[in-house]
Structure 1
Amino acid sequence: MTSLATGVRQLPRGRHGLPREQVVASQRDRILLAMAEAMTEHGYVGTSVAVILKGAGVSRETFYEQFRSKQDCFEAAYERAVRLLLDRIRAAIPHSAPIESDRLAGILGAYLEGLAAEPAYARLFLVEVYAVGSKAVVRRANLQESFAAMIAEVLGARTEEQHFACRTLTAAISSMVTARIAVDDLDGLRALREPLLNLVRRSGALYGEAVR
């Protein structure tokens, strides 16, 4: 996953000859990153638009040209972070590898490394999302279902019981990673990979037909 912080920098002052689209995109990237970083320190409720503007280095007028409100800005940051994380996970799945080993390891590794690489955005959609409102919480639930479906496919879940087991596993993973992101324990976050893999490998066909 391309780091959301990579290449996000303030444009030079004065005349720079850049296309309007590039200027707007740069401003948007800086605003989204500034919001995620501000929420790491202040939480969603304590993050004001003024704090976001200071972090992004943009004017209030520029902010409201792109976003209707702080919540609208949060939703845009959330959607981008989720999309890039899912892209990273999908790209990490070695489709030609044995399903029960390398593919699952690829998913978990990409997921955990993706969160660790962008802790501000990880906190945004794992922790602060609950302070935003029911609409944001529904989006988080949908993300979790997408991850559960991905795990079920990789593990060869066929029965309703196996699909339920995969959803249960996903909920447990979500709870554990959220706890570690909340206290900024990135080493502990990465350390979850092997115990989780071992748990699945010892489970037989509990999660799917590919695990035997």
Structure 2
Amino acid sequence: MPESATQLPRGRHGLPRETVIAAQRDRILLAMAEAMTENGYVGTPVAAVIKRAGVSRETFYEQFRSKEDCFEAAFERAVELMLTGIFAATGAEFDGETQSQRLERVLGSYLDALAAEPAYARLFLVEVYAVGAEAIARRTQLQETFVAMVADVLDADTEAQFFACQTLVAALSSMVTARIAVGDLAGLRALREPLLDLIRRSGELFGSARLAD
């Protein structure tokens, strides 16, 4: 079982109730993401999540009102994992780095965060469209956050340059979604270099930053 889902010891363990509840919640959320990888949101009943998580139906409904409620919580966990992965890489000081190195760190951390959690990445990128407008709006909001990060690195000073950055991230989103949908993690990571090369050859299309190899 992945480290993100804590497996409790069997038998009497003496753990605080809060610890038990948190561990059960982690297992349910991961089970939701993994089950949807196989059958999609529509084709994943609560029973399948319960079985995969190894919890009772009572435990599930103590934590979540419905399958949709569970999905929303799993989606927020996916967002947390994606942002944690990105901010862990981009939160470090950029002193001494070229803008090309900064951009490579930002894009690389995004791709690595997706590849590290493929079930949650699929939930975030693919299954979200089966749930409804609110979840899609949340995904769009996160995409715009990533646009702002890219625009900052590339020194996008004009409306045209910022729009180019939005177009770049939208194209990247489409490409990573296609690869996550078919489980092509190697292809996902392989996007990094051609994308960086494209930006280096773009002149000032995306911003005034001069990116060297």
TM normalised by structure 2 equals: 0.93
The alignment yields a C-alpha RMSD, in angstroms, of 1.5
Pick the aligned partner of 1:88 from 85, 90, 95: 85
TM normalised by structure 1 equals: 0.94
1:210 — aligned with what?
209
Q: Secondary structure at the match of 1:46?
A: coil
The 5 A counterparts of 1:59-208 are: 59-93=56-90, 94-208=93-207
User: Distance in 2 between the 1:86 and 1:211 partners?
Assistant: 27
Offset from partner CA, 1:13-71 (integer Å, 9 cap, x none):
33210011110110000000000000000100000110000011111111111111111
Contact 2:121/2:180 (<8 A) preserved: yes
User: Distance in 1 between the 2:77 and 2:98 partners?
Assistant: 29
CA drift of 1:205 comes to 1.5
Count of residue pairs the alignment pairs up: 209
CA drift of 1:99 comes to 4.7
Unaligned runs of 5+ in 1: none
AA aligned opposite 2:60 = F
CA drift of 1:96 comes to 1.6
Contact 1:99/1:155 (<8 A) preserved: no
| Runs of 4 or more consecutive aligned structure 1 residues displaced over 6 Å after TM superposition | none
Contact 2:176/2:188 (<8 A) preserved: yes
Unaligned runs of 5+ in 2: none
Contact 1:203/1:211 (<8 A) preserved: no
Contact 1:34/1:52 (<8 A) preserved: yes
Pick the aligned partner of 2:45 from 39, 43, 48: 48
AA aligned opposite 1:59 = S
